[in-house]
Amino acid sequence: MNWGWLLLRIGIGLTVLTTIFLSQRFWYRAVWRTTGRWRSGWLRIAARLLYCLALALIVLAIAGGFRMGRHGHLNRRDAALAMFSGLWLSSAFFAFLFVEVVHGAERIWNWLRNSSIPKAENSAPQSDALVPVERVADPSRRYFFRTASVLAGATPFFSTMYGFAAERLNYQVRRVEIPMANLPPALDGMQIAQISDIHLSGYMSRLDVRRAVDMTNELGADLTVVTGDFITGSGDPIADCIEEVGRLHSPLGVWGCNGNHEIYAKAEDTAQHLFAQGGMKLLRQENAQLTFRGAQFNLIGVDYQRERNLDGHRTQVLANMDGLIRRDMPNILLSHNPNSFNRAAELGIELSLAGHTHGGQIQVEILDHRLTPARFISDYIAGLFQRPLLKPSSEILVSREPDAPTSNPQLHAARLYVNRGLGTVGAPVRLGVPPEISLLVLRRA
Protein backbone atom coordinates (compact mmCIF):
# COMPACT_ATOMS: atom_id res chain seq x y z
CA MET A 1 0.00 0.00 0.00
CA ASN A 2 1.19 3.50 -0.87
CA TRP A 3 1.06 5.12 2.58
CA GLY A 4 1.99 8.55 1.25
CA TRP A 5 -0.98 8.52 -1.14
CA LEU A 6 -3.30 7.29 1.61
CA LEU A 7 -2.14 10.01 4.02
CA LEU A 8 -2.59 12.63 1.31
CA ARG A 9 -6.19 11.54 0.70
CA ILE A 10 -6.90 11.50 4.44
CA GLY A 11 -5.35 14.96 4.79
CA ILE A 12 -7.43 16.39 1.97
CA GLY A 13 -10.60 14.82 3.38
CA LEU A 14 -9.94 16.15 6.88
CA THR A 15 -9.17 19.62 5.49
CA VAL A 16 -12.46 19.74 3.60
CA LEU A 17 -14.46 18.45 6.59
CA THR A 18 -12.74 20.91 8.93
CA THR A 19 -13.47 23.82 6.60
CA ILE A 20 -17.13 22.79 6.30
CA PHE A 21 -17.36 22.57 10.11
CA LEU A 22 -15.76 25.99 10.54
CA SER A 23 -18.08 27.51 7.95
CA GLN A 24 -21.17 26.15 9.72
CA ARG A 25 -19.88 27.35 13.10
CA PHE A 26 -19.23 30.76 11.58
CA TRP A 27 -22.80 31.11 10.30
CA TYR A 28 -24.25 29.71 13.54
CA ARG A 29 -22.44 32.36 15.55
CA ALA A 30 -23.35 35.05 13.01
CA VAL A 31 -27.06 34.18 13.23
CA TRP A 32 -27.00 34.17 17.05
CA ARG A 33 -25.01 37.41 17.22
CA THR A 34 -27.22 39.20 14.68
CA THR A 35 -30.53 38.09 16.15
CA GLY A 36 -29.27 38.95 19.64
CA ARG A 37 -29.45 42.64 18.71
CA TRP A 38 -33.11 42.45 17.75
CA ARG A 39 -35.55 44.05 20.19
CA SER A 40 -38.42 41.70 19.39
CA GLY A 41 -38.03 38.51 21.38
CA TRP A 42 -40.55 36.58 19.29
CA LEU A 43 -38.81 37.54 16.06
CA ARG A 44 -35.46 36.54 17.49
CA ILE A 45 -36.79 33.14 18.61
CA ALA A 46 -38.51 32.55 15.25
CA ALA A 47 -35.32 33.31 13.29
CA ARG A 48 -33.22 31.00 15.44
CA LEU A 49 -35.80 28.20 15.23
CA LEU A 50 -35.86 28.59 11.43
CA TYR A 51 -32.07 28.29 11.31
CA CYS A 52 -32.12 25.20 13.55
CA LEU A 53 -34.81 23.68 11.32
CA ALA A 54 -32.60 24.26 8.27
CA LEU A 55 -29.69 22.51 9.99
CA ALA A 56 -31.97 19.60 10.92
CA LEU A 57 -33.06 19.28 7.27
CA ILE A 58 -29.42 19.20 6.19
CA VAL A 59 -28.71 16.37 8.66
CA LEU A 60 -31.75 14.48 7.32
CA ALA A 61 -30.52 14.98 3.76
CA ILE A 62 -27.08 13.58 4.62
CA ALA A 63 -28.72 10.60 6.34
CA GLY A 64 -30.94 10.18 3.28
CA GLY A 65 -27.86 10.09 1.08
CA PHE A 66 -26.43 7.17 3.07
CA ARG A 67 -29.80 5.44 3.01
CA MET A 68 -30.06 5.97 -0.76
CA GLY A 69 -27.00 3.80 -1.34
CA ARG A 70 -28.72 0.86 0.33
CA HIS A 71 -32.44 1.19 -0.28
CA GLY A 72 -33.05 2.51 -3.76
CA HIS A 73 -33.16 5.96 -5.28
CA LEU A 74 -34.31 9.21 -3.75
CA ASN A 75 -38.01 9.99 -3.60
CA ARG A 76 -39.21 13.53 -4.23
CA ARG A 77 -38.96 14.56 -0.60
CA ASP A 78 -35.42 13.25 -0.17
CA ALA A 79 -34.42 14.75 -3.52
CA ALA A 80 -35.67 18.16 -2.39
CA LEU A 81 -33.76 17.81 0.89
CA ALA A 82 -30.59 16.80 -0.97
CA MET A 83 -30.92 19.79 -3.28
CA PHE A 84 -31.48 22.18 -0.38
CA SER A 85 -28.53 20.84 1.60
CA GLY A 86 -26.23 20.97 -1.41
CA LEU A 87 -27.16 24.58 -2.09
CA TRP A 88 -26.72 25.62 1.54
CA LEU A 89 -23.47 23.77 2.21
CA SER A 90 -21.79 25.02 -0.96
CA SER A 91 -22.91 28.64 -0.63
CA ALA A 92 -22.13 28.76 3.11
CA PHE A 93 -18.71 27.20 2.45
CA PHE A 94 -17.69 29.78 -0.17
CA ALA A 95 -19.26 32.66 1.73
CA PHE A 96 -17.22 31.72 4.80
CA LEU A 97 -14.02 31.61 2.72
CA PHE A 98 -14.74 34.98 1.08
CA VAL A 99 -15.51 36.64 4.40
CA GLU A 100 -12.32 35.25 5.91
CA VAL A 101 -10.35 36.63 2.96
CA VAL A 102 -11.79 40.09 3.65
CA HIS A 103 -11.00 39.77 7.37
CA GLY A 104 -7.47 38.68 6.51
CA ALA A 105 -7.04 41.68 4.22
CA GLU A 106 -8.25 43.96 7.02
CA ARG A 107 -5.76 42.46 9.49
CA ILE A 108 -2.90 42.92 7.01
CA TRP A 109 -3.99 46.51 6.35
CA ASN A 110 -4.06 47.30 10.06
CA TRP A 111 -0.66 45.70 10.61
CA LEU A 112 0.94 47.61 7.72
CA ARG A 113 -0.66 50.84 8.83
CA ASN A 114 0.38 50.49 12.47
CA SER A 115 3.91 49.38 11.60
CA SER A 116 4.37 52.52 9.50
CA ILE A 117 3.56 54.84 12.46
CA PRO A 118 6.68 55.76 14.51
CA LYS A 119 6.33 54.90 18.17
CA ALA A 120 6.49 57.71 20.71
CA GLU A 121 9.52 58.02 22.99
CA ASN A 122 9.17 56.17 26.30
CA SER A 123 10.35 59.25 28.18
CA ALA A 124 7.46 61.34 26.90
CA PRO A 125 4.19 59.69 27.90
CA GLN A 126 1.24 60.97 25.93
CA SER A 127 -2.20 61.83 27.12
CA ASP A 128 -5.25 60.71 25.16
CA ALA A 129 -5.50 64.17 23.70
CA LEU A 130 -1.98 63.92 22.29
CA VAL A 131 -2.40 60.53 20.59
CA PRO A 132 -1.35 60.95 16.94
CA VAL A 133 -4.23 61.29 14.52
CA GLU A 134 -3.07 58.18 12.66
CA ARG A 135 -3.89 56.01 15.70
CA VAL A 136 -7.49 57.19 15.88
CA ALA A 137 -9.88 54.66 14.35
CA ASP A 138 -10.84 55.59 10.81
CA PRO A 139 -14.65 55.32 10.41
CA SER A 140 -14.43 55.20 6.61
CA ARG A 141 -12.00 52.25 6.74
CA ARG A 142 -14.23 50.42 9.23
CA TYR A 143 -17.24 51.03 7.00
CA PHE A 144 -15.36 49.86 3.91
CA PHE A 145 -14.30 46.52 5.39
CA ARG A 146 -17.69 45.96 7.03
CA THR A 147 -19.41 46.54 3.69
CA ALA A 148 -16.89 44.30 1.93
CA SER A 149 -17.59 41.53 4.46
CA VAL A 150 -21.34 41.77 3.87
CA LEU A 151 -20.89 41.66 0.10
CA ALA A 152 -18.41 38.77 0.36
CA GLY A 153 -20.86 36.80 2.48
CA ALA A 154 -23.90 37.55 0.32
CA THR A 155 -22.37 37.05 -3.14
CA PRO A 156 -22.01 33.24 -2.97
CA PHE A 157 -25.64 32.88 -1.85
CA PHE A 158 -27.01 35.00 -4.71
CA SER A 159 -24.63 33.39 -7.22
CA THR A 160 -25.62 29.92 -6.05
CA MET A 161 -29.32 30.65 -6.47
CA TYR A 162 -28.70 32.03 -9.97
CA GLY A 163 -26.54 29.06 -10.92
CA PHE A 164 -29.21 26.69 -9.63
CA ALA A 165 -32.33 28.35 -11.00
CA ALA A 166 -31.04 29.68 -14.33
CA GLU A 167 -27.75 28.38 -15.69
CA ARG A 168 -27.96 24.78 -14.45
CA LEU A 169 -30.67 23.86 -16.99
CA ASN A 170 -29.73 26.32 -19.73
CA TYR A 171 -28.71 23.66 -22.27
CA GLN A 172 -26.59 25.08 -25.09
CA VAL A 173 -25.61 23.51 -28.40
CA ARG A 174 -21.97 24.04 -29.34
CA ARG A 175 -21.07 23.44 -32.97
CA VAL A 176 -17.36 22.78 -33.38
CA GLU A 177 -15.45 21.93 -36.53
CA ILE A 178 -12.60 19.50 -35.83
CA PRO A 179 -9.73 19.10 -38.29
CA MET A 180 -8.86 15.41 -38.21
CA ALA A 181 -5.70 13.74 -39.44
CA ASN A 182 -5.97 10.95 -42.02
CA LEU A 183 -9.64 11.72 -42.70
CA PRO A 184 -10.88 10.31 -46.04
CA PRO A 185 -12.67 12.83 -48.30
CA ALA A 186 -15.97 10.98 -47.88
CA LEU A 187 -15.92 11.58 -44.10
CA ASP A 188 -15.36 15.32 -44.47
CA GLY A 189 -18.42 17.01 -42.98
CA MET A 190 -19.64 14.01 -40.98
CA GLN A 191 -21.48 15.21 -37.86
CA ILE A 192 -21.22 13.67 -34.38
CA ALA A 193 -23.60 14.64 -31.58
CA GLN A 194 -22.13 14.19 -28.11
CA ILE A 195 -23.70 14.39 -24.67
CA SER A 196 -21.97 13.47 -21.44
CA ASP A 197 -22.26 13.43 -17.63
CA ILE A 198 -26.04 13.25 -17.40
CA HIS A 199 -26.00 12.39 -13.68
CA LEU A 200 -29.67 11.49 -13.35
CA SER A 201 -30.21 11.95 -9.60
CA GLY A 202 -31.97 14.17 -7.13
CA TYR A 203 -30.44 17.13 -8.99
CA MET A 204 -31.38 16.01 -12.52
CA SER A 205 -34.89 14.83 -13.31
CA ARG A 206 -35.97 12.46 -16.04
CA LEU A 207 -37.84 15.31 -17.76
CA ASP A 208 -34.63 17.33 -17.87
CA VAL A 209 -32.85 14.42 -19.58
CA ARG A 210 -35.72 14.08 -22.05
CA ARG A 211 -35.41 17.74 -23.03
CA ALA A 212 -31.68 17.30 -23.69
CA VAL A 213 -32.35 14.16 -25.74
CA ASP A 214 -34.95 15.99 -27.85
CA MET A 215 -32.52 18.86 -28.49
CA THR A 216 -29.84 16.36 -29.53
CA ASN A 217 -32.17 14.57 -31.95
CA GLU A 218 -33.09 17.89 -33.55
CA LEU A 219 -29.46 18.35 -34.63
CA GLY A 220 -29.80 15.49 -37.15
CA ALA A 221 -26.26 14.22 -36.58
CA ASP A 222 -24.89 11.21 -38.44
CA LEU A 223 -23.57 9.58 -35.25
CA THR A 224 -24.53 10.07 -31.59
CA VAL A 225 -22.27 9.26 -28.61
CA VAL A 226 -22.74 9.41 -24.83
CA THR A 227 -19.48 9.55 -22.90
CA GLY A 228 -20.36 8.22 -19.47
CA ASP A 229 -21.70 9.14 -16.02
CA PHE A 230 -25.35 8.33 -16.56
CA ILE A 231 -25.99 8.50 -12.81
CA THR A 232 -24.25 9.77 -9.68
CA GLY A 233 -24.71 7.09 -6.99
CA SER A 234 -25.69 3.47 -6.58
CA GLY A 235 -29.24 4.39 -5.65
CA ASP A 236 -29.94 6.48 -8.75
CA PRO A 237 -32.31 5.00 -11.37
CA ILE A 238 -29.90 4.07 -14.15
CA ALA A 239 -32.69 2.23 -16.00
CA ASP A 240 -34.70 5.46 -16.22
CA CYS A 241 -31.69 7.35 -17.52
CA ILE A 242 -30.79 4.86 -20.23
CA GLU A 243 -34.43 4.52 -21.22
CA GLU A 244 -34.39 8.25 -22.01
CA VAL A 245 -31.01 7.93 -23.73
CA GLY A 246 -32.60 5.15 -25.83
CA ARG A 247 -34.79 7.81 -27.46
CA LEU A 248 -31.68 9.15 -29.23
CA HIS A 249 -31.40 8.22 -32.89
CA SER A 250 -28.98 8.74 -35.77
CA PRO A 251 -28.14 6.87 -39.02
CA LEU A 252 -24.93 5.38 -37.62
CA GLY A 253 -26.50 4.50 -34.27
CA VAL A 254 -26.01 5.51 -30.65
CA TRP A 255 -22.80 4.48 -28.92
CA GLY A 256 -21.39 5.09 -25.46
CA CYS A 257 -18.85 4.30 -22.76
CA ASN A 258 -18.93 4.02 -18.97
CA GLY A 259 -17.81 6.81 -16.65
CA ASN A 260 -16.31 6.76 -13.17
CA HIS A 261 -19.71 7.01 -11.47
CA GLU A 262 -20.82 3.77 -13.11
CA ILE A 263 -17.78 2.19 -11.47
CA TYR A 264 -18.56 3.76 -8.08
CA ALA A 265 -22.15 2.51 -8.34
CA LYS A 266 -20.99 -0.91 -9.64
CA ALA A 267 -23.32 -0.44 -12.57
CA GLU A 268 -20.97 -1.02 -15.54
CA ASP A 269 -22.56 -4.34 -16.51
CA THR A 270 -26.06 -3.00 -15.92
CA ALA A 271 -25.41 -0.04 -18.20
CA GLN A 272 -24.09 -2.35 -20.92
CA HIS A 273 -27.16 -4.59 -20.65
CA LEU A 274 -29.60 -1.67 -20.71
CA PHE A 275 -27.86 -0.14 -23.72
CA ALA A 276 -28.26 -3.41 -25.61
CA GLN A 277 -31.94 -3.59 -24.65
CA GLY A 278 -32.44 -0.11 -26.09
CA GLY A 279 -30.80 -0.99 -29.41
CA MET A 280 -27.61 0.89 -28.60
CA LYS A 281 -24.03 -0.23 -27.98
CA LEU A 282 -21.88 0.50 -24.94
CA LEU A 283 -18.26 -0.09 -25.90
CA ARG A 284 -16.12 -1.59 -23.13
CA GLN A 285 -12.58 -2.11 -24.33
CA GLU A 286 -14.15 -2.76 -27.73
CA ASN A 287 -14.15 -1.30 -31.22
CA ALA A 288 -16.46 -1.28 -34.22
CA GLN A 289 -15.92 -0.30 -37.85
CA LEU A 290 -18.61 2.04 -39.18
CA THR A 291 -19.18 3.14 -42.76
CA PHE A 292 -20.27 6.60 -43.89
CA ARG A 293 -20.60 7.50 -47.58
CA GLY A 294 -18.58 4.45 -48.47
CA ALA A 295 -15.62 5.30 -46.18
CA GLN A 296 -14.85 3.52 -42.92
CA PHE A 297 -13.70 4.70 -39.53
CA ASN A 298 -12.91 2.83 -36.33
CA LEU A 299 -14.92 3.67 -33.20
CA ILE A 300 -13.31 2.60 -29.91
CA GLY A 301 -14.80 2.73 -26.42
CA VAL A 302 -13.29 2.05 -22.99
CA ASP A 303 -14.49 2.14 -19.39
CA TYR A 304 -13.28 4.97 -17.17
CA GLN A 305 -9.49 5.02 -17.16
CA ARG A 306 -8.02 5.30 -13.67
CA GLU A 307 -4.69 7.08 -13.39
CA ARG A 308 -4.04 5.54 -9.98
CA ASN A 309 -5.19 2.32 -8.39
CA LEU A 310 -6.80 2.16 -4.96
CA ASP A 311 -3.35 1.99 -3.33
CA GLY A 312 -2.32 5.24 -4.97
CA HIS A 313 0.16 3.76 -7.45
CA ARG A 314 0.09 5.08 -11.01
CA THR A 315 -1.47 2.85 -13.61
CA GLN A 316 -1.11 2.72 -17.38
CA VAL A 317 -4.19 4.22 -19.01
CA LEU A 318 -5.40 2.73 -22.30
CA ALA A 319 -3.52 -0.50 -21.71
CA ASN A 320 -3.87 -3.45 -24.12
CA MET A 321 -5.10 -1.30 -26.99
CA ASP A 322 -3.07 -2.87 -29.78
CA GLY A 323 -5.91 -5.02 -31.07
CA LEU A 324 -8.39 -2.13 -31.08
CA ILE A 325 -6.51 0.50 -33.11
CA ARG A 326 -6.63 0.38 -36.90
CA ARG A 327 -3.88 1.80 -39.08
CA ASP A 328 -5.89 1.65 -42.31
CA MET A 329 -8.67 4.03 -41.21
CA PRO A 330 -9.23 6.94 -38.78
CA ASN A 331 -9.77 6.09 -35.10
CA ILE A 332 -12.25 7.82 -32.79
CA LEU A 333 -12.01 7.04 -29.07
CA LEU A 334 -14.78 7.36 -26.48
CA SER A 335 -13.07 7.71 -23.10
CA HIS A 336 -14.82 9.46 -20.22
CA ASN A 337 -11.59 10.71 -18.65
CA PRO A 338 -9.85 13.36 -20.83
CA ASN A 339 -6.55 12.58 -19.12
CA SER A 340 -6.29 9.53 -21.35
CA PHE A 341 -5.62 11.88 -24.28
CA ASN A 342 -1.84 11.92 -23.82
CA ARG A 343 -1.67 8.17 -24.19
CA ALA A 344 -4.25 8.15 -27.02
CA ALA A 345 -2.17 10.58 -29.09
CA GLU A 346 0.94 8.52 -28.39
CA LEU A 347 -0.87 5.41 -29.67
CA GLY A 348 -1.94 7.16 -32.87
CA ILE A 349 -5.66 7.71 -32.15
CA GLU A 350 -6.69 10.68 -34.23
CA LEU A 351 -9.71 11.90 -32.23
CA SER A 352 -10.75 11.43 -28.59
CA LEU A 353 -14.13 12.43 -27.17
CA ALA A 354 -14.43 12.84 -23.40
CA GLY A 355 -16.34 14.51 -20.57
CA HIS A 356 -15.82 14.08 -16.80
CA THR A 357 -14.77 17.65 -15.90
CA HIS A 358 -18.18 19.37 -16.27
CA GLY A 359 -16.07 22.31 -17.42
CA GLY A 360 -15.52 22.85 -13.70
CA GLN A 361 -19.23 23.74 -13.17
CA ILE A 362 -18.02 27.11 -11.88
CA GLN A 363 -15.71 29.35 -13.85
CA VAL A 364 -14.46 32.83 -12.97
CA GLU A 365 -12.33 34.92 -15.29
CA ILE A 366 -9.73 37.09 -13.56
CA LEU A 367 -7.05 39.02 -15.49
CA ASP A 368 -7.65 36.93 -18.64
CA HIS A 369 -7.23 33.71 -16.65
CA ARG A 370 -10.12 31.30 -16.27
CA LEU A 371 -10.24 29.91 -12.77
CA THR A 372 -12.18 26.69 -12.23
CA PRO A 373 -12.07 23.76 -9.77
CA ALA A 374 -11.53 21.35 -12.68
CA ARG A 375 -7.92 22.47 -12.94
CA PHE A 376 -7.19 20.32 -9.90
CA ILE A 377 -8.07 17.14 -11.81
CA SER A 378 -7.12 17.78 -15.44
CA ASP A 379 -5.26 19.99 -17.88
CA TYR A 380 -8.12 19.43 -20.31
CA ILE A 381 -11.03 21.40 -18.86
CA ALA A 382 -13.35 21.91 -21.83
CA GLY A 383 -13.23 22.44 -25.57
CA LEU A 384 -10.80 21.37 -28.27
CA PHE A 385 -7.15 20.38 -27.74
CA GLN A 386 -4.39 18.94 -29.92
CA ARG A 387 -1.13 17.02 -29.60
CA PRO A 388 1.18 15.62 -32.27
CA LEU A 389 0.41 12.04 -33.22
CA LEU A 390 2.68 9.11 -32.32
CA LYS A 391 4.98 11.17 -30.09
CA PRO A 392 5.96 10.30 -26.49
CA SER A 393 3.52 12.15 -24.26
CA SER A 394 6.26 13.27 -21.86
CA GLU A 395 8.06 15.20 -24.60
CA ILE A 396 5.20 17.19 -26.12
CA LEU A 397 3.31 20.09 -24.60
CA VAL A 398 -0.42 20.34 -25.20
CA SER A 399 -2.00 23.22 -27.08
CA ARG A 400 -5.58 24.39 -26.96
CA GLU A 401 -7.56 25.35 -30.00
CA PRO A 402 -10.58 27.65 -30.07
CA ASP A 403 -13.97 25.99 -30.49
CA ALA A 404 -13.97 26.99 -34.15
CA PRO A 405 -12.05 26.11 -37.34
CA THR A 406 -8.37 26.78 -36.86
CA SER A 407 -6.61 28.73 -39.60
CA ASN A 408 -3.41 26.70 -39.40
CA PRO A 409 -4.15 23.22 -38.01
CA GLN A 410 -1.32 20.75 -37.56
CA LEU A 411 -1.60 18.10 -40.23
CA HIS A 412 -0.45 15.16 -38.12
CA ALA A 413 -2.11 16.03 -34.82
CA ALA A 414 -4.39 14.13 -32.50
CA ARG A 415 -7.43 16.03 -31.27
CA LEU A 416 -9.45 15.86 -28.07
CA TYR A 417 -12.85 17.38 -27.49
CA VAL A 418 -14.02 17.69 -23.86
CA ASN A 419 -17.78 18.09 -23.45
CA ARG A 420 -18.94 20.27 -20.54
CA GLY A 421 -21.63 17.78 -19.55
CA LEU A 422 -25.31 18.09 -18.73
CA GLY A 423 -25.59 17.37 -15.01
CA THR A 424 -23.86 18.39 -11.82
CA VAL A 425 -22.04 16.74 -8.92
CA GLY A 426 -21.87 18.13 -5.40
CA ALA A 427 -23.75 21.39 -5.54
CA PRO A 428 -26.52 21.59 -8.18
CA VAL A 429 -25.02 24.79 -9.57
CA ARG A 430 -23.37 26.00 -12.77
CA LEU A 431 -21.81 29.44 -13.12
CA GLY A 432 -20.09 30.47 -16.34
CA VAL A 433 -20.27 26.87 -17.59
CA PRO A 434 -23.74 26.13 -19.01
CA PRO A 435 -24.58 22.48 -19.78
CA GLU A 436 -23.54 21.44 -23.26
CA ILE A 437 -24.76 19.42 -26.20
CA SER A 438 -21.95 19.15 -28.74
CA LEU A 439 -22.29 18.99 -32.52
CA LEU A 440 -18.86 18.03 -33.84
CA VAL A 441 -18.19 18.37 -37.56
CA LEU A 442 -15.20 16.44 -38.91
CA ARG A 443 -12.98 18.26 -41.40
CA ARG A 444 -9.91 17.14 -43.33
CA ALA A 445 -6.79 18.59 -41.76
Q: What is the pLDDT of residue 327?
A: 94
Q: What is the sign of the dihedral through the CA atoms of 245, 246, 248 and 252?
A: positive
Q: What is the pLDDT of residue 146?
A: 84
Q: Give the separation between CA 151 and CA 154, rounded to whole angstroms.
A: 5
What's 374's DSSP letter? G
DSSP 88-135: HHHHHHHHHHHHHHHHHHHHHHHHHHHHTSPPPPTTS---GGGS-GGG
Each of the 445 residues of the chain gets a pLDDT tens digit; together they read 566 666 776 887 788 778 778 888 888 888 888 888 888 889 989 988 988 888 887 777 666 555 544 334 455 556 666 667 777 877 888 888 888 888 888 888 888 877 776 655 444 555 444 445 444 556 777 788 888 888 888 888 888 888 887 888 999 999 999 999 889 999 999 999 999 999 998 788 999 999 999 999 999 999 999 999 999 988 889 999 999 999 999 999 999 999 999 999 999 999 999 999 999 999 999 999 999 999 999 999 999 998 877 666 678 889 999 899 999 999 999 999 999 999 999 999 999 999 999 998 888 655 455 666 777 778 899 999 999 988 886 654 455 655 544 445 566 799 999 999 999 987 788 988 999 999 999 999 7
Q: Give the separation between CA 135 and CA 114, rounded to whole angstroms.
A: 8
Q: What is the pLDDT of residue 79?
A: 62
Q: What is the pLDDT of residue 176?
A: 97
DSSP 60-83: HHHHHHHHHTTS-S--HHHHHHHH
Contacts of 210 (CB under 8 A, 6+ apart): 244, 247
Burial pattern 106-143, b for ≥16 Cβ within 10 A else e, equals beeeeeeeeeeeeeeeeeeeeeeeeeeeeeeeeeeeee
**Is 133 in contact with 393 (CB distance < 8 Å)?**
no
| CB half-sphere exposure, 137, CA atoms < 13 A | 5
To the question of domain 171-444 being in CATH 3.60.21.10, the answer is yes
Domain boundaries for CATH 3.60.21.10 within the chain: 171-444
| CB half-sphere exposure, 208, CA atoms < 13 A | 19
Q: Give the separation between CA 218 and CA 198, rounded to whole angstroms.
A: 18
Contacts of 207 (CB under 8 A, 6+ apart): none
**Is 334 in contact with 300 (CB distance < 8 Å)?**
yes
Q: What is the pLDDT of residue 61?
A: 67
Q: What is the pLDDT of residue 2?
A: 62
Helix segments in 174-315, DSSP class H: 206-218, 238-245, 260-264, 268-277
Q: What is the pLDDT of residue 58?
A: 74
Q: What is the pLDDT of residue 174?
A: 97
Q: Give the separation between CA 244 and CA 226, rounded to whole angstroms.
A: 12
DSSP 157-195: HHHHHHHHHTGGG--EEEEEEEEETT--GGGTT-EEEEE
Q: What is the pLDDT of residue 76?
A: 56
